[in-house]
Amino acid sequence: MKTGVITLTMAFALALAFLLVAGFPPSSEAGACPDADSDTICDPDDNCLNKVNTSQTDSNTDGYGNVCDPDSTNDLSVTAADLGRLKQTFGLSLGAPLYNPDHDHNGDNSVSAADLGVLKQFFGLAPGPSGKSCAGSIPCP
């Protein structure tokens, strides 16, 4: 009887140890971290905190994802200068000699009215916000 209790206790301890070693519950499971835009990228890693961008594409590696970074001059303000740059590549698609992925904000490999719309939303504002602490410095890992 006493042996049985000890065996059960040991079995429980072993099972608990196994679960701990196996990392259960998983600490990286969705919902286990703050994720303001619910795009499965945890806030501290999300280069666009308020925009769904699971791909995290950041073509100019400044820590702001393309979906929230119409600031191609990298002065942390979206201005007429940025609009001018987008205009230069407007209508171009991936593969064109002057194509610049920095102006493709919606990730469809072309610079179109949709991308201009993103710039318009940010006009006069800063890019981001990004959850990355290195945002604004190039390269931001």
Binding mask 58-97 for Ca ion (x = CB under 5 A): x-x-x-x----x----------------------------
Span from 3-11, 39-47, 72-80, 116-124 in contact with Ca ion (CB under 5 A): 39-47
Whole-angstrom distance, CA of residue 21 vs CA of residue 80: 55
Q: Which of 8, 25, 37, 126 binds Ca ion (CB under 5 A)?
A: 37
Number of residues this chain uses to bind Ca ion (CB under 5 A): 16
57 binds Ca ion (CB under 5 A): no
56 binds Ca ion (CB under 5 A): no
The 3-class SS string of 15-81 reads HHHHHHHCCCCCCCCCCCCCCCCCCCCCHHHCCCCCCCCCCCCCCCCCCCCHHHCCCCCCCCCCCHH
Give the SS3 label for residue 88: helix
**Position 112, amino acid:** S
Residue 14 or 45 with smaller CB distance to Ca ion: 45
Q: Which of 78, 86, 92, 104 binds Ca ion (CB under 5 A)?
A: 104
Please give the structure tokens belonging to residue 13.
Answer: 């301890």
Whole-angstrom distance, CA of residue 135 vs CA of residue 96: 29
Residues that bind Ca ion (CB under 5 A): 35, 37, 39, 41, 46, 48, 53, 58, 60, 62, 64, 69, 104, 106, 108, 115
